Amino acid sequence: MLRATPMWSRFLKTPGRKSLDEICKVSLLEATPAAQVATIWNEHHKQFVQYWGRTYSVQAYEALRPRLAQSPYFVIPVFRDKGLFNVVTNFHNDLVGVAPLGEYQKKQDHAGIHMTIQFFTELSRSKQLVLVRCEIKDQVLMRQDCLFLTQMLLKYYTFPKLYEGFVETFNKRPNQFDYHQYLRQMKDEAQKDDIKIEDKKTGHMMDRYGPVIDIPPDHIARTILQNADKGPSPPSQ
């Protein structure tokens, strides 16, 4: 786990589960129209390097949450100018923990959490809104990664074709998970046309910076899911 530099230490706090009261005055939000609550929440998070926020409808989250619970693990690539690395996401009780795949392979559910995505449901009845907040911990992930990872998580768990074709397969039928097909699609999502991907599942694209794809694709899901039948463990706090 990377330590924050003195400059970053002024901005970064350890991520973990929070109540909405720790972030804002819920009573004021309760007295505000729902559309304005969404605007306030989204605009509030623009001023920070550590956070990204958006709002979700209750109906959308009610459809999303069972999928997160039934398929709690997923892998999402983080793209850089010279390649990519993968992160593992793990959902538990309205909180998603994010850790680099290499660290997760070594420590499993004891891996340090470098980013969280939390769904706040305190306003679900009164405003029909769920507030989503992404929080990063250190320089492993940047704010642009926070935005991309959150958007891709919501998208791939929400749309039936993406969920059934990738997320559900990854969790329940890992031997059928085609990492390269998935990575090609994610490359298009990130508009990274300059990153080449081999079709051969055991091959790695290499450049002078090392492997572009960091582990054998068929091994990704099996390694992460070997203890999945026991149920998801809560992300480290």
Instruction: Give Cα separations from 85 to 12, 19, 46, 65 (angstroms).
Output: 23, 31, 26, 26
Mean predicted confidence (pLDDT) in 53-67: 88
Helix extents (H) in 77-175: 101-107, 143-158, 160-162, 168-172
Q: Which residue has the higher pLDDT, 214 or 104?
A: 104
Q: Which residue has the tokens 């923990």?
A: 97
Lowest pLDDT segment from 60-69, 191-200, 225-234: 225-234
* Element counts in the chain: helices (H) and strands (E): 10, 8
pLDDT of 9 over the 60 cut: no
pLDDT of 1 over the 60 cut: no
Q: What is the pLDDT of residues 83-120, one digit of tens each?
A: 888 999 999 999 999 998 888 888 876 778 889 999 99
Cα dihedral sign, 220-116-130-54 = negative
In the chain, where the domains are located:
6-230
Mean predicted confidence (pLDDT) in 193-217: 41
Tokens representing 16?
């973990």
CB 73 within 8 A of CB 101: no
Phi and psi, residue 157, nearest 5°:
-90, -15
Mean predicted confidence (pLDDT) in 209-230: 40
